[in-house]
Amino acid sequence: MKLFTGLIFCSLALGVSSQWYAFFGEAAQGAWDMMRAYSDMIEANYKNSDKYFHARGNYDAAQRGPGGVWAAEKISDARENLQRVTDLFKYGDSGHGAEDSKADQAANEWGRSGGDPNHFRPPGLPDKY
């Protein structure tokens, strides 16, 4: 974390980008995109749709720019790491959910890299989403 903070500070201090503040705006908007996708997933409550919402949230955030990509990656990683910890308490060291977590991360990366989220869209999911 200290290394990352140092790199950000140095890049800002050295003037790598004349619009350094844009990164933070993109990150905030990307975080909002991720939250909106999560909220839509909860609202839809549609079977086998989680990969679609993972990809969509990451895709929308990445469209904001480098700050959005950064926010999407950090939020996605934090979510999957938290899920691993809670699964450990729920199921012990059984590996339960490991495959699902890998599939979620693949959908996250697909969306962040510009892949169409509809690749993961389940049949019958309402057009609203």
pLDDT confidence bin for 124, thresholds 50/70/90? very high
pLDDT (tens digit, 9 = 90+) per residue, 30-86?
Answer: 999 999 999 999 999 999 999 999 999 999 999 999 999 999 999 999 998 888 777
Which one has a higher pLDDT value, 96 or 112? Answer: 112
What's the topology of domain 26-120?
Topoisomerase I; Chain A, domain 4 (1.10.132)
Average pLDDT, the chain: 87
Of 119, 115, 126, 19, which is closest to residue 58 (Cα–Cα)? 115
Predicted pLDDT at 87: 75
Distance of CA 28 to the CA centre of its chain: 13
Closest CA relative to residue 34, chosen from 66, 1, 64: 64
- Lowest mean pLDDT: which of 8-17, 76-85, 116-125? 8-17
Which token pair is 91?
A: 């199921």
Tokens of 112: 């962040």
Residue 4: the pLDDT is 63
Residue 27 CB neighbours (<10 A): 22
Burial of 125 per CB tally in 10 Å (0-12, 13-18, 19+): middle
Cα–Cα distance, 41 to 49 (Å, whole number): 7
Average pLDDT over residues 106-120: 97
Identity of the highest mean pLDDT range in 78-82, 87-91, 108-112? 108-112
Conformation bin of residue 107: beta by default, left when phi > 0, alpha when psi is -120 to 50: alpha
Q: Could you state, in order of their start, the residue ranges of all structural domains in the chain? A: 26-120
pTM of the model: 0.80
| 3: its two tokens | 């290394």
